[in-house]
Structure 1
Amino acid sequence: MDGLMQPRPLTIAHILERAERLYAHKEVVTAGEGRLTYAEVARQTRRLATALDTLGVPAGARVATFASNHRRHLELYLAVPATKRVLHSINIRLPAEHLEYIVGHAEDDVVFVDRALLPRIWPSAGRLRRVRHWVVLPDDSGVPIPADPRVLDYDELVSGAAPATGSFEETFTLTDEQLASGLCYTSGTTGPPKGVLYSHRSTVLHGLGTLAAGFIGLCESDVVLPIVPMFHANAWGLPYGAMLAGASLVLPGPSADPDHLLRLMAAERVTVAGAVPTVWTGLAPRLRDHDLGATRFLLGGGSAVPPALSEAYRAAIGVPITHSWGMTEISPVGAIGGTRTQHRDAAEADRVAVRAAQGQPLPLVNVRIADVETGRELPRDGTAVGELQVAGPWVAGGYFRVDAGSSFTADGWLRTGDLATIDADGYLRLVDRMKDLIKSGGEWISSVELEGAIASHPDVVEAAVIARPDPRWMERPVAYVVLREGSAATADELLAHITPMVAKWWLPDEVVLVPGLPKTGTGKISKTALRDSAAASGRDRAELVQPEAKL
């Protein structure tokens, strides 16, 4: 027997309409550009919806964005999927070959690009013949705009369009909530990038997940700052979640300068912010120079947050960095860390250990661990280590135009490639990526645990541990470490610091002090580049690991 409830589809048009009707007075602030209310953003979005029709963009077409975090990008977040097109957000730090591959693979019809970013993508335009229009999002960069009939100005395009009228949900009627809404490609570290195709249903449910109390818990009184880029996995769902909750949004623009971000957090009284650990590391030395008294929740993700970094924030501003776990394939948030009521009376050392875990899965997300060899589900005892597998309504069930059956189990769970434990309370603790484990003399060494131990030294800014081939032991760990400016710490001092924390045979064979670590386009440490460095013979490793541009 079916229930007698209305089968109303879950759509991004509802997110926009809710913000327009209930929270019209709330603001979207873009650093350097000023502020608009949600009502004004909605009016701009209505005009953009008409402009997409004027450009002849068909339903289901992929509309690419190559942009930083600002209100025009937010308008695209809303108008493109609400009008039955697919928002394809592109990583602005991709190398040209990956950029051209994914634009071609997605068959993008239109590309919206920040003026400042034109030099990164326009040289590829001649090889991207499927793209019919290039729409430039204005900024004060002064970058020359190509004299090409395909190139249009965003503000002229939008201001010249009549606004779509009526209810968004009625005007852009969408009866199938499984219709694609967004497309984001994985980093492609182990092969060509793979496209994850989100649906309206998955995006709305994921947005509601960010409102879940006891996790991120976005609410109407929040001021939300997504430092995490909008080009990556819907900026962790924070823009959509903020609009659902009625929270104000603060968008930092293209700059990730620590002082810029801290000034913005203080001036706008930001309550919730999300960023990768490398960004939080850059802000840490300056925390006490700014009034961050409004802050209630800082979210870290993309890679493990060193416990020492999280505790440094707790000591400085009273708010630790809360761990999260997720993937592009999980929209991307799957689990959120932090303590719960059962930890209130625990010893402080135990509470620190809990905060160091990746946390509990969000409502509607299911997780399990399985034996790597047999696939048998392992117990939730906090000790057994297995491959982390995940299922849920905002978890990918396949990849766009790619057969990747090995990425899923026979019963449809996503195989994450992470090794983890799950305890009786459901807390995930990542042991390592399967590809990052170090096998030395037949025994496993966790690079994550070693990195955490090294990062606990007060002079360490960043640390990464990778495996180097060894003729006797098969693999041995090598640590790359960035020290704080002015530090006189030595490799021997770092080894002495971690000796009491790990088994003796875990100690790295070499500690390489470097000025910076290479980063992927989303701000994670690139262990692929470090492995290449470790394997290069007769070359100065310090020269090989110069830092790339950060978020």
Structure 2
Amino acid sequence: MLNGLMMDAPLTLMDVLDYGAQVHPKAEVVSATVEGGVHRQNYRQTRRRVARLAHALVAQGVKPGDRVATIAWNTYRHLELYYAIAGIGAVCHTINPRLPADQMAYIVNHADDTLIFFDTTFTPLITGLRDQFPAHTRYVAMTDRAHMPEGDDLLCYEELLGGQPEHYDWPTLDENTACALCYTSGTTGNPKGALYSHRSCLLQALFALAGSNGVFRVGDRILPVVPMFHVNAWGLPYAAPLTGCSLIMPGAALDGASLFDVMDREEVTGAWGVPTVWMGLLTEMKQRGRKPGRLRQVLIGGSAPPRSMLRAFENDYGIEAMQGWGMTEMNPTGSMGILVEGEDQLPLEERLDIKSSAGRRLFGVRMKLVDDDGREVPQDGQAVGELYVKGPTVISAYFNNEEATAKAFDKDGWFATGDMASLTEDGTLHIVDRAKDLIKSGGEWISSIDLENLAAAHPDVAECAVIGVPHPKWDERPLLIVVPRPGSEPDKQALLDHMAGEIAKWQLPDDVLFVDELPHTATGKVSKRHLRDRFGGHLADAG
């Protein structure tokens, strides 16, 4: 085989920030701060502070391959850590502060973190867990001296940067060098670590740009509501500098009113986040009777949005809503729900038919469907199987976890997602359900996602979930659990009648329960495991 005569230039993340600083110097990072107020700096200023931080990390003894943890909100300092840690060849280990204490202690020890940088919001968390963390781990409060918490051994972020040079001779790294570490939420067993390379992170950003059909434009102002502690904020910290988009960092306040205000004030054009966030924003927009000034697009990921949410954004406020699907193990995006080839001219309901899918697969992400016997099923839009993925942005193993790796990959290296899905010839992905959430009733499968989407369209429903619970006759039956919209008093039968016109009678939930709130995982998804634990016996005496 004849090789091409090309320069061997590695793909590394510092090239992303260098590019943004040189080519898009007017783009800025606007950040709500933990101390209060708003901080502004452009990409050139960001690059200078990243260089100072890199010098500080080396001065603290951080070596290539060391894991440096963050427990922080979406802020400019967190963005600086992303680039400085990776730039010196170390690994940025982002920690979800919403994890249970035992899981947090597990991942800090499993990662063997050298330093932990934390926003002062999380001082009590650090104080309460330090005895369970490695003895050699040191701690940096991400603030200035005036706002330092108590603790003689705590280091101050701004003091570490003080006096450091604004230029750093970045090492030439192999593009497969690890740069970021993110753990799954650990809904069953201990969390599992996904260790990403420079190459995978940069390719993920490029693949998302290629598949987003003009979502990113020079001068746009993008707000990552998705946390930076969750799969690199879906790649936005890398995609934005590449495209000349400003990053608007919301800090800790993610309620509907706060998001509306920052979007309005900072002229945000696009925002990415999970459905629970957009529920709050839609409620706020309805109360104010308008959308935030320039907002034109939202991406909804993490879990499937109800069709009613997509319709509200597009029909009521003229905001393009698109769905993205992926997993921590995929770094993370596998498909995006864009419209192509004139589909934007279709009637609203036909557009929503397309957007209610998980979207078309991104370039670089290969997909196949497998049945219970391990045989590949057709990609005809009808056949359903477990979804397997493969590609340069998908992990090839879990970090220091051979047992979990052996369970998750087939003999050819394909990753088993645990999602039941169908695929069309044009690469459109339809997620039927998580394999563990499908309901098998009398030998027939029922999708909890389909039932949730129907129920969520009722005007009295704020949030809902469907679980399968044991039944003495049918093995399992669906149970609908609803959080009513404030000020409403939904009627059980009216809700079931609302759903009945769209599905077969045998698919209807056997009962509806109303609760004040649903339990959520650390990443904002509804925790069906907790719902099954609480309500699993609800139909045990049914006839």
Q: TM-score range by the shorter chain?
A: over 0.9
Aligned to 1:300: 300
- After TM superposition, give the deviation of residue 342 of structure 1 in Å: 5.4
For the residues of structure 1 that align with 2:458 and 2:380, how far apart are their CA atoms?
30
Relative to structure 1, the CA distance from residue 261 to residue 348 in structure 2 (aligned partners, 3 Å threshold; closer, same or farther) is closer
- Alignment-mate amino acid for residue 35 of structure 1: R
8 Å CA contact 1:287, 1:316 repeated in 2: no
Aligned to 1:29: 30
For the residues of structure 2 that align with 1:211 and 1:292, how far apart are their CA atoms?
24
Partner SS state of residue 489, structure 2 = coil
Matched, 1:389 2:388: yes
For the residues of structure 2 that align with 1:291 and 1:450, how far apart are their CA atoms?
29
1:147 to 139, 146, 151: 151
- After TM superposition, give the deviation of residue 128 of structure 1 in Å: 1.2
- After TM superposition, give the deviation of residue 360 of structure 1 in Å: 0.4
Aligned to 2:237: 239
For the residues of structure 2 that align with 1:5 and 1:123, how far apart are their CA atoms?
53
Query: Would you say how many aligned residue pairs link Structure 1 and Structure 2?
Result: 530
Aligned to 2:220: 222
Relative to structure 1, the CA distance from residue 215 to residue 327 in structure 2 (aligned partners, 3 Å threshold; closer, same or farther) is farther
For the residues of structure 1 that align with 2:162 and 2:326, how far apart are their CA atoms?
38
- Alignment-mate amino acid for residue 265 of structure 2: A
- After TM superposition, give the deviation of residue 388 of structure 1 in Å: 0.9
1:24-66, CA deviations, whole angstroms, 9 ceiling, x for partnerless residues? 2321101232211111111111110000011011111000000
5+ residue gaps, structure 2, are: none
Query: TM-score scaled by structure 2?
Result: 0.94
Q: After TM superposition, list the pairs within 5 Å mapping 1:45-444 onto structure 2.
A: 45-138=50-143, 145-149=149-153, 151-165=154-168, 171-212=169-210, 214-215=212-213, 217-288=215-286, 289=288, 290-341=290-341, 343=343, 346=346, 348-371=348-371, 373-403=372-402, 404-444=405-445
Matched, 1:525 2:537: no
8 Å CA contact 2:471, 2:477 repeated in 1: yes
Superposed CA RMSD: 1.9
Aligned to 2:495: 494
Report the more deviating stretch, 234-243 or 348-357.
Answer: 348-357
- After TM superposition, give the deviation of residue 297 of structure 1 in Å: 2.0
8 Å CA contact 2:270, 2:295 repeated in 1: yes
- After TM superposition, give the deviation of residue 218 of structure 1 in Å: 1.8
Partner SS state of residue 210, structure 2 = coil
For the residues of structure 2 that align with 1:321 and 1:344, how far apart are their CA atoms?
12
For the residues of structure 2 that align with 1:495 and 1:291, how far apart are their CA atoms?
32
8 Å CA contact 1:216, 1:336 repeated in 2: no
Partner SS state of residue 129, structure 1 = coil
- After TM superposition, give the deviation of residue 174 of structure 1 in Å: 2.5
For the residues of structure 2 that align with 1:419 and 1:291, how far apart are their CA atoms?
36
- Alignment-mate amino acid for residue 362 of structure 1: L
For the residues of structure 2 that align with 1:437 and 1:444, how far apart are their CA atoms?
7
Identity level (%): 44
For the residues of structure 1 that align with 2:491 and 2:126, how far apart are their CA atoms?
42
- Alignment-mate amino acid for residue 439 of structure 1: K
- After TM superposition, give the deviation of residue 347 of structure 1 in Å: 5.1
Relative to structure 1, the CA distance from residue 153 to residue 536 in structure 2 (aligned partners, 3 Å threshold; closer, same or farther) is farther
Relative to structure 1, the CA distance from residue 47 to residue 140 in structure 2 (aligned partners, 3 Å threshold; closer, same or farther) is closer
- Alignment-mate amino acid for residue 441 of structure 1: G
For the residues of structure 1 that align with 2:495 and 2:136, how far apart are their CA atoms?
52
For the residues of structure 2 that align with 1:490 and 1:21, how far apart are their CA atoms?
59
For the residues of structure 1 that align with 2:425 and 2:81, how far apart are their CA atoms?
43
- Alignment-mate amino acid for residue 326 of structure 1: G
- Alignment-mate amino acid for residue 524 of structure 1: K
